[in-house]
Amino acid sequence: MNHLSLIVFNLMVFFWLFTIIPSVEGRKFHSPCKKHHKGSGHFCNSTTIFNILSFGAKANGVSDDSKWINFKWVYNLTIQGSGTIDGQGCNWWDPIKSKHISDIKPTALRFYASEDTIVRDITIRNSPQVHLKFDNSERVKVNNITISAPRNSPNTDGIHLQNTRDVEIMHSNVGTGDDCVSIQTGCSNVHIHHINCGPGHGISLGGLGKDKSTACVSNILVENSVIQDALYGARIKTWQGGKGMVKNVTFSNIEVANVNFPIVINQYYCDKVVCQNQTNSVAIKSVRFDRIIGTYSTQPIHLACSTDVPCTDIDLSDIQLKPFGGLLGGSQLQRALCWNSYGNSKGPLVPSSINYCLRKGGGGGSGSVHEMSRSYDEVC
């Protein structure tokens, strides 16, 4: 990046908006269409350029807050068109230039407490951090969108879901420096399919349970997708000390190519060199990895479950992972790692060491795990 340039730059956020129904709240801008009462069925079609600088944004990597285009309490909103939202994020990515803590970098496009939202056909690129975020929302459809940012841009998640239910994300290309799709606490009934993901950190649940928080995630289905040139593929990560539960998650028919860690459950997620081990953990139950096929570049499978609360009812079937570039290219290849994970596996399983990954039975034998899981269930 050229540090001398970009003293002044013009941040144009532009996209074509069709079919806006209710009120729109942005960075203190008003909808280009007239405000309507909820569900009045009054439609407006427009081609709109939002220049967020004229709404008070500075776009200098220093003084803007956490969101740029923010839709709050909107119902039945569709954003559709062939336009692009360009976040021009490089000022934020530079660790020296940007003194920001990551939390207050702007999200390019965010929906809060909204229902029946559709985002389709648009492109979102180079956001300072998250590109498209849904918070406290219900009934979301994302279709045929493109999200892109450089592979080394920090924390630039593609699509971020939090406390959001009944979501379908499909037929889209997402390649950034972080998760293609990130699913956080409070999400349920999320269906992701026909996604092309990479570069980036794959499709992730978590990190959940940070600072002893409670996390609840259930009924997630990721299928018929491709993950390539990515650090992770299908991943669940939790911090130690959390409470709650992740349950009923399926990753099915995922083609991976040159993915460092295609299958990951990590209950020791940690942002320091060493984190203290703790007994509490977000429980993980009923997770299926089915038909994950392709190439890995570091470790085919990494299931590091909590020592005190094992992962239960884990299913591995038809996993066929070969080293990227063949065995010769693999001096840094690691063997499968599996710790305290219970469930069933069904062939074909390649490499064959995956055969011995899961422990049989319900986890623990004493019944204590089941009791613990039940009590966690009540938390959610």
Determine if 43 is a binding residue for ligand NAG (CB under 6 A).
Answer: yes
- Per-residue mark of binding to ligand NAG, 79-98 (x: CB under 6 A): ---x----------------
Q: Is residue 178 among the annotated active site residues?
A: yes
Confirm or reject binding of residue 48 to ligand NAG (CB under 6 A). no
Residue 39 binds ligand NAG (CB under 6 A): yes
Which residue, 154 or 207, is less far from ligand NAG as judged by CB?
A: 207
Instruction: Tell me which of 96, 274, 327, 328 binds ligand NAG, using CB under 6 A.
Output: 274
Supply the DSSP string of 321-367, one letter for each residue.
EEETTTGGG-TT----EEESEEEEEEEEEESGGGGGTSBSSSSSSSS
257 versus 311: smaller Cβ distance to ligand NAG: 311
Which listed residue (86, 94, 116, 290) binds ligand NAG by CB under 6 A? Answer: 116
Neighbours of 76 (CB within 10 A): 17
Q: Which residues pair with 235 in a beta bridge?
A: 204, 264
| Residue where the block lists tokens 């924390």 | 155
Residue of 100, 131, 160, 201 marked active site: 201
**Mind giving me the DSSP string for 215-266?**
EEEEEEEEEEEEEEEEEEEEEEEEEBT-EEEEEEEEEEEEEEEEEEEEEEEE
| Smaller CB separation from ligand NAG, 20 or 208 | 20
Q: Nearest residue to ligand NAG, using CB?
A: 39
Sign of CA dihedral 149, 150, 156, 159: positive
Contact criterion met (CB below 8 Å) for 163 and 142: no
Instruction: Please say whether the beta carbons of 233 and 179 come within 8 A.
Output: no
Question: Is residue 307 a contact point for ligand NAG (CB under 6 A)?
Answer: yes
**What are the backbone angles phi and psi of residue 353, rounded to the nearest 5°?**
-60, -20
Residue 340 CB, nearest approach to ligand NAG (Å): 8
Alpha carbons within 13 A on the beta-carbon side of 225:
29
Nearer to ligand NAG, 20 or 354 (CB): 20
User: Smaller CB distance to ligand NAG: residue 121 or 135?
Assistant: 121
Specify the length of the chain in residues.
380
Q: Does 14 bind ligand NAG (CB under 6 A)?
A: no
Binding site for ligand NAG (CB under 6 A): 18, 38-39, 43, 45, 75-76, 82, 116, 121, 144, 219-221, 248, 274, 277, 307
Catalytic positions are: 178, 201
